[in-house]
Structure 1
Amino acid sequence: MITVEEVLDTHQKKEFLDFPARLYQYDKNYIRPLDKDIENIFNPEKNKFYKDGKCARFLFKNDSKTVGKVAVFINNLYEQSQPTGGIGFFDCINDQETANFIFDYCKNWLQEKGIEAMDGPINFGERDKFWGLVIEGFIEPLYGMNYNFPYYKDLFENYGFKVYFEQLCFSRPIFAEVSRVFTVMHAKHSKNPEISAKPMTKDKLEKFAKDFTEIYNKAWASHGEGKCMEEAKVLKMFKMMKPIINEHISWFVYENEKPVAMWMNLPDTNQWFKYLNGKFGIWEKLKFIWIKRFKKNEKMIGLVFGVVPEWQKKGLEGYMIWEGTQHLRKHTDFKVTEMQWIGDFNPKMIKIAENLDTTVTRKLATYRYFFDRNKEFERHPML
Structure 2
Amino acid sequence: MIIVEEVQNENQKKEFLEFPARLYQHDKNYIRPLDKDIDEIFNPEKNKFFKTGECTRFLFKNKQDQTVGKVAVFVNHLYEQNQPTGGIGFFDCINNQKTADFIFDHCKNWLQERGMEAMDGPINFGERDKFWGLLIEGFAEPLYGMNYNSSYYKELFENYGFKIYFEQLCFSRPIFADVSRVFTVMHAKHKQNPNISARPMTKNNLEKFAKDFTEIYNKAWAAHGEGKCMEEAKTLKMFKTMKPIINEHISWFVYENEKPIAMWMNIPDTNQWFKYLHGKFGFLEKLKFLWVKKFKKNEKMVGLVFGVVPEWQRKGIEGYMIWEGTQHLRKHTDFKVTEMQWIGDFNPKMIKIAENLDTTVTRKLATYRYLFDRNKEFERHPML
TM over 0.5: yes
CA deviation vs aligned residue, 1:101-122 (integer Å, no higher than 9, x gap): 0000000000000010000000
Letter in 2 for 1:7: V
Provide the secondary structure at the position in 1 that maps to 2:70.
strand
Output the CA distance in 2 between the equivalents of 1:191 and 1:360.
34
Output the CA distance in 2 between the equivalents of 1:101 and 1:222.
45
Aligned counterparts, 1:238-253, within 5 A: 238-253=239-254
Letter in 2 for 1:43: N
1:41 is matched with: 41
Output the CA distance in 2 between the equivalents of 1:375 and 1:223.
33
Q: Alpha-carbon deviation of 1:81?
A: 1.0
Aligned counterparts, 1:255-334, within 5 A: 255-334=256-335
Letter in 1 for 2:322: I
2:52 is matched with: 52
Unaligned ranges ≥5, structure 2: none
1:364 is matched with: 365
Letter in 1 for 2:54: K
Output the CA distance in 1 between the equivalents of 2:254 and 2:6.
51
Q: Alpha-carbon deviation of 1:18?
A: 0.1
Output the CA distance in 1 between the equivalents of 2:50 and 2:307.
32
2:136 is matched with: 135
Name the % identity: 86
- Where has structure 1 moved over 3 Å in runs of 4 or more? 222-225
The answer to whether structure 1 residue 381 and structure 2 residue 360 are counterparts is no
1:218 is matched with: 219
Output the CA distance in 1 between the equivalents of 2:350 and 2:240.
27
Aligned counterparts, 1:327-346, within 5 A: 327-346=328-347
2:237 is matched with: 236
CA deviation vs aligned residue, 1:205-224 (integer Å, no higher than 9, x gap): 11111111110011111444
Provide the secondary structure at the position in 2 that maps to 1:86.
strand
Letter in 2 for 1:60: F
1:61 is matched with: 61
Provide the secondary structure at the position in 2 that maps to 1:314.
coil
CA deviation vs aligned residue, 1:90-138 (integer Å, no higher than 9, x gap): 0000000000000000000000000100000000000000000000000
Letter in 2 for 1:316: I
CA deviation vs aligned residue, 1:217-262 (integer Å, no higher than 9, x gap): 1111144441111111111110000000000000000111111100
Output the CA distance in 2 between the equivalents of 1:10 and 1:299.
35
Provide the secondary structure at the position in 2 that maps to 1:90.
strand
CA deviation vs aligned residue, 1:243-293 (integer Å, no higher than 9, x gap): 000000000001111111000000000000000000000000000000000
Output the CA distance in 1 between the equivalents of 2:361 and 2:199.
29
Output the CA distance in 2 between the equivalents of 1:306 and 1:40.
31
Q: Alpha-carbon deviation of 1:179?
A: 0.4
Provide the secondary structure at the position in 2 that maps to 1:144.
coil
Provide the secondary structure at the position in 2 that maps to 1:373.
coil
Output the CA distance in 2 between the equivalents of 1:132 and 1:184.
38
Report the more deviating stretch, 373-382 or 221-230.
Answer: 221-230
Report the more deviating stretch, 75-84 or 21-30.
Answer: 75-84
Letter in 2 for 1:266: I
Provide the secondary structure at the position in 2 that maps to 1:323.
helix
Provide the secondary structure at the position in 2 that maps to 1:4.
strand
Q: Paired residues, what number?
A: 383
Aligned counterparts, 1:169-208, within 5 A: 169-208=170-209
Letter in 2 for 1:229: M
Distance of aligned partners of 1:224 and 1:150 in 2 relative to their CA distance in 1, 3 Å threshold: farther
Output the CA distance in 2 between the equivalents of 1:118 and 1:41.
19
1:12 is matched with: 12
Output the CA distance in 1 between the equivalents of 2:42 and 2:260.
38
CA deviation vs aligned residue, 1:151-179 (integer Å, no higher than 9, x gap): 00000000000000000000000000000
Aligned counterparts, 1:32-111, within 5 A: 32-63=32-63, 64-111=65-112
Output the CA distance in 2 between the equivalents of 1:360 and 1:165.
15
Distance of aligned partners of 1:58 and 1:225 in 2 relative to their CA distance in 1, 3 Å threshold: farther
